[in-house]
Amino acid sequence: MSSHVNPEVRPTPAVAAAVVHQGRVLMVQRRNPPNAGMLALPGGRVEPGEPLLEAALRELHEETGIIADSERVLTAIDQFQHDDQGCLLSHFVIVVVTCRWVGGAAVAGDDANQIHWLDATQVSSEASLCASARRIATNLLADTKRR
């Protein structure tokens, strides 16, 4: 499939919150694109004037009800969506922020249909987990074991 750039599509800044608690990483089943129906890290668009670390905490709370402290920027990933002809529909630049769970019981809200806490075995085997979330979760859980 050849990729055609739509000059009207601009990269959109977004964040994802990477939370590991009790040896499991938090995932949400996304209601909306990108990755609708897939398991992914909770997150969404950065609001104008909003610092990245604050945006990650806000999105985490809106989607899951969880309260956390932001720790650091872990990585950034490009998320492209194309139509059947290969034309670019959207481009999100997602900044992944590690967050430390402080409190709250995870309940799906906002863009999340369901909440899942996945251990390392589930991360490696869950078919509905999007590829970028699988890579990030695998690395996070491995880092947690080494500590």
The DSSP secondary structure of the chain, one letter per residue, reads ---B--TT---EEEEEEEEEETTEEEEEEESSSSSTTSEE-SEEEPPTT--HHHHHHHHHHHHH--EEEEEEEEEEEEEEEE-TT-BEEEEEEEEEEEEEEEE------TTEEEEEEE-HHHHHH-TTB-HHHHHHHHHHHHHHHH-
Q: What is the pLDDT of residue 2?
A: 47
Q: What is the pLDDT of residue 37?
A: 87
Domain ranges across the chain: 12-146
Q: What is the pLDDT of residue 145?
A: 66
CATH superfamily for 12-146 is Nucleoside Triphosphate Pyrophosphohydrolase (3.90.79.10)
For residue 85, what are the contacts with CB-CB under 8 A and spacing of at least 6? 4
Tokens 């987990």 correspond to 129
Q: What is the pLDDT of residue 39?
A: 95
Q: How far apart are CA 102 and CA 47, in angstroms?
A: 23
Q: In the structure encoding, which two tokens stand for residue 144, read together?
A: 């947690």
Left if phi > 0, otherwise alpha if psi is -120 to 50, otherwise beta: which for 23? left
Q: What is the pLDDT of residue 122?
A: 96
Residue type, 1: M
pTM of the entire predicted model: 0.89
> Could you say which residues of the chain have pLDDT below 70?
1-3, 34, 110, 145-147
pLDDT 10s digits, 91-112: 999 999 999 999 988 887 767 7
